Amino acid sequence: MLTKRIIPCLDVRNGRVVKGVNFEGIRDVSSPIDLAKYYSSCGADELVFYDITASFEERKIFTGILKEAASSVFIPLTVGGGINSLDDFDRVLKSGADKVSVNSGAIKNPSLIYEAAKRYGSQCVVLSADVKRVNGVFRVFSKGGRENTGIEAVEWLRRGQESGAGEIVLNSIDTDGVKQGFDIPMLKAVCEAVSIPVIASGGAGRPEDFIELFKEVPGADAGLAASIFHFGEVKIKDLKALMKQNGIPVRI
């Protein structure tokens, strides 16, 4: 049976993981390579490297880090952040990424999804969206969640699937950072509208939040989180054991 995936997200800036602290058994928590190896050994099903690079020079460092990680960690790697063109796809895929996540880049140029899917296959095109309720309507935000695009989110993601996206990351701005659980109503709305895998993001604070996610939203395929894993608040091993106890299919 296909298992539900647990995905830690590493924000990388200038070759270091941002917000990495508090780990047992790992020397350098801000080394993306060490952290990637650590997560892979504790049962992470996939890793997301999020590039929050500010300059061209830093981007080269990021690509180098990615290459090194892909040479020593053999689980699927997704890269997001700053993907605006087919050249960006090319650059990260050649450095070892398996999937590429587009967000603002697809808002600026929606045909990027179609073009990338045509060239590299849907399996490596992930459409990521930061979504927030505005007067009761789910709206897509761009620029890291700062700017309301006015686009209705469910329709945007459905169209993304039609254009060739192979997977969706739905990040709820409303629950992000609150640590009170994933945005169940928003995830349900999206899962009903699309048939490709959906990764839930934003709001996980405790292992129980993942149990609620997979029980309440059967269409959710994976749960993604960053700081709760980095800070050791939730250990992937314990989380997976709890999932198993609750009858959720999981890779242990």
Residues that bind other proteins (CB under 8 A): 1-3, 5, 40, 45, 67, 70-72, 74-76, 93-96, 98, 120-124, 166-167, 195-197, 221-222, 251
Q: How far is the CB of 68 from other proteins (least distance, A)?
A: 10
Return the DSSP state at 220. Answer: E
Q: Whose structure tokens read 């309720």? A: 133
Q: Write the CB contacts of 147 (distance below 8 Å, at least 6 apart in sequence).
A: 141
Known catalytic residue at 11: yes
Read off the amino acid at residue 235: K
Known catalytic residue at 51: no
Report CA-CA distances (Å) from 219 to 184, 197, 226.
11, 8, 22
Q: How far is the CB of 45 from other proteins (least distance, A)?
A: 6
Given a contact cutoff of 8 angstroms between Cβ atoms, the answer to whether 227 and 19 are in contact is: yes
**Among candidate residues 110, 150, 108, 101, the one with its CA nearest the CA of residue 129:** 101
Q: How far is the CB of 123 from other proteins (least distance, A)?
A: 5
Q: Whose structure tokens read 């009858």? A: 247
d(CA 251, CA 248): 10
Nearer to other proteins, 73 or 211 (CB): 73
CA 166 to mean position of chain CA atoms: 13
Q: How far is the CB of 78 from other proteins (least distance, A)?
A: 12
Q: How far is the CB of 218 from other proteins (least distance, A)?
A: 9
Nearer to other proteins, 72 or 245 (CB): 72
Read off the amino acid at residue 119: R
Q: Write the CB contacts of 57 (distance below 8 Å, at least 6 apart in sequence).
A: none
Q: Which of 51, 88, 130, 209 is catalytic?
A: 130
Q: Please give the positions annotated as active site.
A: 11, 130
